[in-house]
Amino acid sequence: MTERADRRVQVAVIGGGIGGLTTAAFVRRAGLSVEVFEQARELREVGAGLVVAPNAARLLRRLDPPTTLDDVGVALQRGWEFRRWADGAELFSQELGEACRQRYGEHTWTLHRADLLEVLCSVLPADLVRLGRRCVGFTQDDDGATVDFADGSAVRADVVVAADGIHSMLRGYVTQVGRPRQTGVCAWRALVDVDAAPEPARRPVMTLWLGHGRHVVHYPVSSGRLVNLVAFSPVRATDVESWSAEGRVEDFAAEFAAWDPGLTALIGAAERVGRWSVLDRAPLTTWVSGRLALLGDAAHAMLPFYAQGAGQAIEDAAVLAACLADRSTDPPSALATYERLRLPRATRVQEASRGRLVHNHLPDGPEQRERDRAFAAEDPLGHNAWLYSYDAEQAAAAFLG
42-74 pLDDT per residue, tens: 887 666 899 999 999 999 999 999 999 999 999
In this predicted structure, what is the pLDDT of residue 3?
A: 45
In this predicted structure, what is the pLDDT of residue 102?
A: 85
Residue 119 · residue 72 · CB < 8 Å: yes
The answer, as to whether pTM is greater than 0.85, is: yes
More confident residue, 95 or 158: 158
- Average pLDDT score over residue span 187-197: 95
In this predicted structure, what is the pLDDT of residue 177?
A: 78
In this predicted structure, what is the pLDDT of residue 4?
A: 46
Query: So where are the chain's domains?
Result: 8-75+110-178+282-358+385-400
In this predicted structure, what is the pLDDT of residue 241?
A: 54
Q: Summarize pLDDT for 10-36 with one digit per residue, the tens.
A: 999 999 999 999 999 999 999 999 999
- Three-state SS at 114: helix
In this predicted structure, what is the pLDDT of residue 99?
A: 79
* pLDDT beyond 70 at 104: yes
Query: Which strand (E) or helix (H) includes residue 36?
Result: strand 34-38
Give the model's confidence band at 245: pLDDT under 50 very low, under 70 low, under 90 confident, else very high: low
Report the C-alpha gap between 316 and 296 in whole angstroms.
7
Give the model's confidence band at 276: pLDDT under 50 very low, under 70 low, under 90 confident, else very high: confident
* pLDDT beyond 80 at 77: yes
More confident residue, 102 or 230: 230
Known catalytic residue: 219? yes
- Three-state SS at 193: strand
In the CATH hierarchy, which fold is given to the domain comprising 8-75+110-178+282-358+385-400?
A: FAD/NAD(P)-binding domain (3.50.50)
The separation between CA 360 and the C-alpha centre of its own chain, rounded to angstroms, equals: 20
Give the E-state strand segments of 150-221 in sequence order.
154-162, 181-193, 205-211, 214-221
Residue 104 · residue 389 · CB < 8 Å: yes
Report the C-alpha gap between 250 and 58 in whole angstroms.
40
Residue 166 · residue 211 · CB < 8 Å: no
Report the C-alpha gap between 225 and 216 in whole angstroms.
20
Catalytic residue among 219, 306, 338, 388: 219
Query: Which strand (E) or helix (H) includes residue 395?
Result: helix 392-400
Q: Determine how many CB atoms are found less than 10 A away from the CB of residue 316.
A: 31
Please report, in angstroms and rounded to a whole number, the separation of the first and last CA atoms in the chain: 47
* pLDDT beyond 90 at 97: no
The one-letter amino acid at 4: R
Report the C-alpha gap between 189 and 48 in whole angstroms.
8
More confident residue, 259 or 376: 259
